[in-house]
Structure formats: C-alpha cells, structure tokens
Structure 1
Amino acid sequence: MSNHRQLMVSRKITCNSHGEDSHYFFGWQEYERNPYDETRNPAGIIQMGLAENQLSLDLLETWLLENPRAASFMSSGTSLFRQMALFQDYRGLPAFKKALADFMGEIRGNRVKFDPNRLVLTAGATSANETLMFCLAEPGEAFLLPTPYYPGFDRDLKWRTGVEIVPIHCDSFNDFQITEGSLQKAYDDALDRKVKVKGVLVTNPSNPLGTTLSSKALKALLTFVSTKRIHLICDEIYSGTVFSPSGFTSVAEDAVLAECNVSREFVHVVCSLSKDMGVPGFRVGAIYTHNEHVLSAATKMSSFGLVSSQTQYLLSEMLSDKKFTLNYLRENRKRLRQRQKKLVSGLQKCGISCLKSNAGLFCWVNMSHLLDYPSFEAETRLWKKLLHQVGLNVSPGSSFHCSEPGWFRVCFANMSEKTLAVSLERIRSFLSKSLRGQCPQKVLTEPKKLLLYCKSSFTWSIFQPDSTQSERF
C-alpha cells in the first residue's frame, strides 16, 4: 500500500531536500511544544532561534493610532475597500512600489536611487530568492554561498528549483570574511564535480554573523563575479538593522560596481520589510534588477506569491510618511545597538565571547571552549543540553554549515529585555552548577578564570556520563 501511495504523488514532495530535519528547525518544534511565558510557563523554553525584530513594534502601533484612515482604507472621506478587495495588477500598486523604493534608498543613506519600475514584489524574501534561482539557473547548476549561511537557503534555493549549493568555506581566523582564495576554491570544487556555476549569493549584512562585508571582501567578490561572468545575488534584508555609524555598502551603489567593472545586468538585490520593519507576517519582499530578462520573467512569476493589495496600501501610506520613517530608522538602530550590547556583555560575564558585529538581530557566539571534544557531535550534545536542560533554543553552527564546531547563533530582538535577562541568568546558573565547587560569584566576576575552568573541568562536569552511558570524556 505504501508503494502504491508513493506512486500517486510526485518525487518532488517525497524527496528530503527541504531541510526540515535540521537542528535549526527541530529547535523551533521543541520550543513550540513548551514555550516560555513569564506568568503561565516560566520554566518553558525561551526562543532565541528566531530572527525577529520586536523592539520597535510600538513605533508602528503609534503610527497606526495616529493614522486610523490608512488601516480602515479611507482616503479623503471615501472608502477604498472595494478597490482593495478586487483584482489588482500583479505588478503591484505604483504608490507602494515608489514608497518602497524611496525607503530602500533612505536605509542606504540615499547613496542609491532605486527605480520603482525595476522592483518585483514577492511574498517575502523566501519567494524572491527562489524566483531568482528559477530565473538564473537550470536544475543541477550551482550557486556559491559563503559559510556559515542561513539554514533556510537549503529549502529556498534548492528544494523546488533543483539548483545546487556549493559552499564557500570561511573561517574564524579572519572573522569568516570572504577571500579571493575561498571563492576560487569553491569554484574549482564545483568544476571538479562537473557542476556549472551560475553565480554567488551572499547576505549583507550576514545572517548568522551579524556583520557587513568589508570593503576588501566586497571588492574581491565583485571582481570575482566580473571575471567569471557569473551572477551575484545580494540578499540585503538586514540592511535596516545596521546599528553602527558606518560599514554597510550596498552592491546597488553605482560607484561600487564601476570600481570593479561589474555589469549591473549581473547583479540582483533582494530586499524585505520583515527585518527592517519587523513585519514578517505581512510577507513583503522584493527583487531589484537591471536585467530585463530577469525583470520580465520574475514579474510574471510573482503571480504565484503576490503581496495583498491591503498590505501594499497600508505600507505605502506608512512609508510615504518621511518624518515617521526617519524617526523609525534612527530609533530602531539605537534600540538594536543597546540590546546587542546587553547580550554581549551578559555573555562576557559568563566567559563566553561573540564575534564583533554591527548589524542583525542576533550574535554569532563562540562556545567552542565548552565542548567536550572539538567535533560537531560534541556541538550537538551541548546544543541538546542548552535546549532541554537550560531551556534555551539557540541555533547550532552546524545547521548553518559552519566549518568549525562550537559556534551558535543567538537572537536577541524577539523578546523583552526582562526575558533576555532570564536567558542570561539561566546560562549563568547552568555554568555555575557545572563548575563543581565554584561559587556563582566567581562565575559572574571572573570570566577569564571561568574559561580556564571550562577547559580543565567543565566538560567532565556537564557531560558526566550517567549510569546508562558507557562513553567516557
């Protein structure tokens, strides 16, 4: 019977390339079974694996209260409900595309002027990235991606398109930055496998690193794609989360492309309001391209994942309010910077360091010194401890295809400041109990000494085999 049933469906839906078996998604499932709540379930799992920005939702709520006509679809005393409820041009509302293009330019310091006619609206960045795969590559062809990279790309880029991902292995010795050598190595690896490379996809700012591409790395990347005559997709959905005064350069900037002699037809930018505005539920993404073939095909394909007219109208009103957008961007960056500092300083007090970051909704946290052995199996054991014993869903580096065990992505913007404090206290308590005989005060005030304890006695303590285990560490 099972074979018969299998014959009744396509191979596409029975293949396992979706990536849902990743620890990244498993952690979410465990959280959903036992979610933390300050009053109803204070012993539950705290979600630190979701890159969601809840820090500035109050600014959006205030704008809605002050502009009730936008949410009720009223303009000059006239209801727009019927107009919004009926079919619209799948290319999108012109007013929204203009407001979105202006907002994208504002995020980038107005160093780029985006043409609304070159925007393709999609139902989030997931849809945008998949659409570009369909447009740029045949099944079996490949895109190069620097590691570590967002686990969802295994689904977004590969599952339905049949496109392959070839990793560009980046390491901690240079803060996981792309180099000419790593790019060429990945390209050669693909050729050795007789796989045709159609392009490179990067996230800038990076997910999960929380860093922006250095000028050296960006130049190496652009020179590489120009030399190889391949495409570059730059996923810039975290561009509005850059909280340092400088450091982010968009590949959409003409001066950047001109310096490396890169044709704009080979460069495509993915944008979204999910991270920059904190509205992932609105499902608003976009492709920006100067390639006429891609623009035409992606626009036609967008009919499979449209942004609702109601959403477009509401956001066009909000984004057209320049006083609001200016204040939002400034305040949101300030709040992200403050929250990131709280997480970093809290972890430092526990003897745990983070990669220096200047963007994003998360930190790339180094817990390699807490592993009982430098392996991904040991990383998984520590991750399970953190999930089931400490009650924190953090994402292990192996799910991001990191080449070094012991790194974790820890999100900080999807919770209240009080919940973050609970998370840090759980970590402190866990480490304190694991340092047998060491008082909590030492854990709090002597992080350097904690590191020494971790290397000498921590792993034996927290991974001490119980009566059912025979393995020794």
Structure 2
Amino acid sequence: MERAGRAGGAASTRHHPCDSSSTRRSSSSSRSLFLSERGHRIMSYTGILQDGFSMYSANKFDEARNPEGIINLGTSENKLSVDLMATRLGQPDMYHVDPVTLCYGDWRGHAFLKKEMARFLTDYCKAPRPLDSENVVVVNGCGSLFTALSAVLCDPGDGILIPTPYYGIIDEDIRHYSGVRTVHVPLSGVPSEDETHPFQLTVPKLETALEAAKKEGMRIRAVILINPNNPLGDIYPADALLSYLEFAKRHELHVIMDEIYMLTIFIKGPKFTSVLSFDRLPDPDRTHVMWSLSKDFAASGLRVGVLYTENRDVIRALGKVAYVHGVPGPLQYSVSQILRDREWIDRVFLPTNHERLRKAHRYMTDRLRAMGVPYLERASGLYVWADFRQFLQSDTFVAEKDMWIALIKSKVLISPGQAFYCPEPGWVRLVFAESMTRLKLGERRQETTVSAIEETVIPVRANVFVIVLLNGLLVTLRPDLLCVRACVWGAVGSSGGMDRLESALPKLKLLTNSAQTSKGDQPNASSALPSDSLEDLIGLLRKQIHSSDWLEQNKAEHFAKSNPEVYESFQQLLKK
C-alpha cells in the first residue's frame, strides 16, 4: 500500500495501494484445496482497518478488567451516545411481536418501516415533496447496500469512480462478490491556486480520472460520493454537489450517494445539502441515496441501511438479492418506532449527541494544537483528519505504517491515511466519539509515542529555548528537538504567512547558532545544527500551511489557550 510521498523518499518504497505489494496482499502464497479462486481471494484479502480492529478486539481496554488494553480511536463508532439509544430501545413501546414480523415479508422491507423511513427522509433531507415509500429498500447495513448495488449496476471487471481518501472498506463491499473495482480520483492535501481547501473535489479531477480509466480499457459504470465525507469531514456545497451530478449525467454514470453522516453535524455553520433536497435531479434514474442509523444514531450494531432510488429496475433487481441481506422483522418494528418519535429525536437525542460530540471534538483538537499538529477543522463526522507527517521517519507509506504499529504497541489504535487510499503519507483519522476518560488516556498514549518518534527524526543537541518575534511571527524552538512553531499575529493569509516565515529564516538560523554558543555548546561535527535541517522544517511547515487549516488554528488566541506560558513570555517580549 505504498505510494509516492515527499520529494527525497526512496523510490523503491512507493507503490499504489492496489499493487500486488500492498498491505492487502495474501500473507501466504499457498492455495487452499477447499476454496474456489474467488474464495481464496476473499480469504487472503486483508486491510489495515480490519487488521487494526482485529487486534483491538483481541485486547480491548477496560478500566477494571484490562487497563493495559488497546483504546480504539480508529474505528468510526459513536460511543458517546450509545446510552441514549440503549435507553430508548429499552422502552416498552419498542418491542412488539406480531405474526407479520415473524413471517416472510417484502424482502425490501416491511411496508410499515418503508413508510416511516420515507417520512423520515422527507423531513431530515428537506425533500421538496413527500418521498415515495415504494422507492425505499431496507437491508442489513450500508455495506450490504454497496455489495448489492455493485452487483446490479456493474459487471465483473467494471469500475466505479471514487475520490480519495475514502472509507477503505468500500473496496471489500464491492469487490468480494461482484468483482467490481474502485477507480481512484486522487485529491491532494495541497490546494491548487484555483482551489479553496485541501482535498477539494472538482469536476476536472473527475473528468481526468474517467478519461484515464477509459484509455486503459476499463468501463466505468458509477461514481461514489460520501457526503459528509469520511474521513475528511467535508460537507459538499450545493453548487459543487450539483456539478458532480451533472458530470455523471453527461457520462451516463450512476451516482451512489452515501449520506450516512447527514445528522452528525455538530457545529453550526456549514449547511448539509442532501441530493434528495434538489427540486430536480439531473438524472434521477441514475441517482441512488443511502443512509443508515449506524453513525447518526450511535447504533452501528443494529445493521440497518436504507436506499432511496426512483429507478424501478434497480428496485426490482435489489428485491431479488435482498433476501440474503434482510433485517429481522421485530427489529424493523423497533426502528420504525425510533424514526416515528420525533420528540425524542429533536429534543433529546440530536441536541445531546451534538453537545457531547462538540465537547470531545474540542478536547481532541485542543490537544492537536498543543502538539503543533495541523488538522482539518470540520463540523461533521466522528473523527478528525490530522497531518502527522512531522512524526514520520521518512515520507513514505512504510514509515506511516511503522508509526501505526508503534501506536498499537503503545495500546492505542488510530487509522492511517493508507487505509483510506490517501495519496500522501502521514495523514491519519482520529476518532473522538469516545468516553472522555478513554479519549484522554488514548491521547496521552498517542502523544507519548509520537513524541518519542519525533525525537529521532531531526535530533539536535542545542540545549536552548528561544521565543522571538520575527517579521510578525511568533517562533519557538524546543530544547529537545529543533521544532519550528509559528503563531500568526492577527488574520494573515497563508501566502503572507509563508512569506514572513521564509524571510525570517536567516535571522532564525543566526539566532539559533548564537543561542547555542551562549549556552556553551561549541559548534563541531557532532553538535552543530545541520545546515539543511531548518530549511527541511520550513518546507514541512509550508506543506502543512497549504494543506490544512493550520493558519486558522494557530492564531494568537488559540496559541494563548494551548500554550499559556509561552504566550506570557511573548507578551513580556512585546513590552521590552
């Protein structure tokens, strides 16, 4: 699963994640005598998300029974609000045994659930008119929906476009049974001049990926879009979303719209737009929307997923395979009761859940800022997409995986970027939807581990701590490691911030050498600052500034909160 990284990385360690040398390669070349070719392929398939969860499952943290177990900050589950869901499911009105629910029914879902689901989606997706319950298909989770949809929309060997990074398990959903391949639309953490944010999806990128696939002789049948996005947390603006749908119509591609996080938007501001809210869809027969209770209702174990499509052929085809993906009748009744209880949803669950998510998100992002780690400031999801490149031994996916393994050995599980087919090494997804006790302990374990890794990246023997204002930037040097941290004083654009920082470089080097000498460290072959190490760090900082919300996160008020002692020293310097 190794792909191109920073300039200077060893070429031999760079591979596309779909190469035979990826982490999804069979651990053994021996063939089973009992399995088909497909069975052997399925048995041999491994992935980082599944591997990590397996290690966690075998050694789960428990405050009383296993305090040295693994804390899971890698799996996107909402552990913060399971108590709310458990309490509601335990109420007397939730359990009802009826002969109808104990017998075979419509494989696409009982009529009572489909009607309630249509009403629910009409309201929460802000549909311009009531949605038709006959367009609803209910199965046991969105994974099953991806599996079934790929089977009825594609033939073996066909491709589906999907922007990277994305939730990597989708590959397993569509490949195991159907033999359908994902075709990546790579998004960069460094925005181009005409882009507004990192990892921005644009129609030209979709066009480029489609044309490249056609040149290789692959037939592309669909495009998968995740909104809100996993793992980025991005929420597509309505105009961008419409442009993606129009692109798909031009090329007669199905759009599989995953809106599984649509109610997990916990910060006011960004507006979520469901494709079901459009008055007219560019191509309604090729637009299919999926949703589930797993994320929005902290119920990943219920295994209930829903598809809404106006294409009657797709509905009939899904009906033929839905019997192997069915949801138990009594559970369908309980889900319909949940969806019907708008008083509980709107006044109890959603506001409480959002407040808990805000608090946990605030804690995690405060810790990341204190560590000097850039991340994407987003309002949705159960996770933060963070830039851990400064902790890599080299700019490769091998180094990224080494960091992931080191963290697991320290008993904390995260999800590295390669699990999401991120085209750049060093990004990670950190799940914050965990109890505060476990979240704090997991963060401490994580910080200890990556700090130990960081100390081996660019070791410097300078025993100094310098705080100085250079060209409007507050710069600090840590004593154990030359580590540039800059706090932009006031609102400064990213290009202006970098210009100031780079023009301060000669002064900063001069100051560092002077401070070393004043502390009695005589420059020599073993202790002198490497001539290019500061430029390397500046280069890394440049990447971070251009590929994340670093400048916004490192304004003075944020720096003062997370680094009060340094901030106070800076204030004293200003008075001199």
Answer yes or no: same fold by TM over 0.5: yes
Question: Paired residue for 1:316, among 332, 336, 343?
Answer: 336
Contact 1:101 1:114 in 2 (8 A): yes
Asked if residue 349 in structure 1 is aligned to residue 370 in structure 2, the reply is yes
**Structure 1 64/14 Cα, relative in aligned 2: closer, same or farther at 3 Å?**
closer
Q: Residue 274 of structure 1: SS of its match in structure 2?
A: helix
Contact 1:148 1:208 in 2 (8 A): yes
**Structure 1 449/135 Cα, relative in aligned 2: closer, same or farther at 3 Å?**
farther
The alpha-carbon deviation at position 454 of structure 1 amounts to: 4.9
Question: Paired residue for 2:447, among 421, 425, 428?
Answer: 428
Larger deviation: 216-225 or 147-156?
A: 216-225
The alpha-carbon deviation at position 304 of structure 1 amounts to: 1.2
Q: Residue 239 of structure 1: SS of its match in structure 2?
A: coil
Asked if residue 370 in structure 1 is aligned to residue 391 in structure 2, the reply is yes
The alpha-carbon deviation at position 321 of structure 1 amounts to: 1.5
The alpha-carbon deviation at position 298 of structure 1 amounts to: 1.0
Question: Paired residue for 1:405, among 397, 402, 425?
Answer: 425
1:37 corresponds to which residue?
Answer: 62
What are the Cα deviations for residues 347-393 of structure 1, in whole angstroms up to 9, with x where unaligned? 211221211212111111110111122111111121111111x3211
Aligned length: 439
- Equivalent positions of 1:58-77 (< 5 A) are 58-65=83-90, 67-71=91-95, 73=96
Amino acid at match of 1:325: I
Amino acid at match of 2:443: L
1:55 corresponds to which residue?
Answer: 80
Q: Residue 402 of structure 1: SS of its match in structure 2?
A: coil
Contact 1:369 1:454 in 2 (8 A): no
Asked if residue 264 in structure 1 is aligned to residue 284 in structure 2, the reply is yes
The alpha-carbon deviation at position 300 of structure 1 amounts to: 2.2
Contact 1:27 1:393 in 2 (8 A): yes
Contact 1:351 1:447 in 2 (8 A): no
**Structure 1 55/103 Cα, relative in aligned 2: closer, same or farther at 3 Å?**
farther
What are the Cα deviations for residues 442-462 of structure 1, in whole angstroms up to 9, with x where unaligned? 9xxx996569735769x9xxx
What are the Cα deviations for residues 302-342 of structure 1, in whole angstroms up to 9, with x where unaligned? 11110110101112122211211212223222322222122
1:470 corresponds to which residue?
Answer: none
**Structure 1 170/317 Cα, relative in aligned 2: closer, same or farther at 3 Å?**
same
Question: Paired residue for 1:248, among 269, 272, 291?
Answer: 272
**Structure 1 166/40 Cα, relative in aligned 2: closer, same or farther at 3 Å?**
same
Contact 1:48 1:393 in 2 (8 A): yes
Q: Residue 453 of structure 1: SS of its match in structure 2?
A: coil
Distance 1:150 1:14 in 2: 24
Asked if residue 417 in structure 1 is aligned to residue 430 in structure 2, the reply is no
The TM-score, its normalising length taken from structure 1, stands at: 0.85
**Structure 1 118/338 Cα, relative in aligned 2: closer, same or farther at 3 Å?**
same
2:171 corresponds to which residue?
Answer: 154
Question: Paired residue for 2:223, among 158, 179, 200?
Answer: 200
Amino acid at match of 1:14: H
Distance 1:209 1:447 in 2: 29
Larger deviation: 183-192 or 421-430?
A: 421-430
2:356 corresponds to which residue?
Answer: 335
Distance 1:306 1:96 in 2: 13
Distance 1:145 1:130 in 2: 15
Distance 1:215 1:176 in 2: 17
Amino acid at match of 1:151: G
Structure 1 unaligned spans of 5+: 74-79, 460-473
Superposition misfits of 4+ residues, deviation over 4 angstroms: 2-8, 109-112, 431-439, 446-452, 454-457
Distance 1:54 1:151 in 2: 21
Contact 1:19 1:155 in 2 (8 A): no
1:14 corresponds to which residue?
Answer: 40
1:453 corresponds to which residue?
Answer: 482
- Superposed CA RMSD in Å reads 2.9
1:221 corresponds to which residue?
Answer: 244
Distance 2:80 2:129 in 1: 27
Distance 1:300 1:426 in 2: 49
Contact 2:138 2:307 in 1 (8 A): yes
Asked if residue 24 in structure 1 is aligned to residue 49 in structure 2, the reply is yes
Distance 1:3 1:381 in 2: 24
Contact 1:347 1:424 in 2 (8 A): no
Higher relative contact order (CA 8 A, sep 6+): 1
Contact 2:376 2:384 in 1 (8 A): yes
Taking only the aligned residue pairs, the percentage that are identical comes to 32
Question: Paired residue for 2:401, among 377, 380, 388?
Answer: 380
What are the Cα deviations for residues 52-81 of structure 1, in whole angstroms up to 9, with x where unaligned? 11222222233345x31422x2xxxxxx34
The alpha-carbon deviation at position 4 of structure 1 amounts to: 12
The alpha-carbon deviation at position 431 of structure 1 amounts to: 4.7
**Structure 1 202/5 Cα, relative in aligned 2: closer, same or farther at 3 Å?**
closer
Contact 1:20 1:26 in 2 (8 A): no
- Equivalent positions of 1:283-302 (< 5 A) are 283-302=303-322
Amino acid at match of 1:283: R
Amino acid at match of 1:241: T
**Structure 1 4/114 Cα, relative in aligned 2: closer, same or farther at 3 Å?**
same
Distance 1:266 1:376 in 2: 36
**Structure 1 128/354 Cα, relative in aligned 2: closer, same or farther at 3 Å?**
same
What are the Cα deviations for residues 260-317 of structure 1, in whole angstroms up to 9, with x where unaligned? xx12111001111111111122110011101111011112221111011010111212
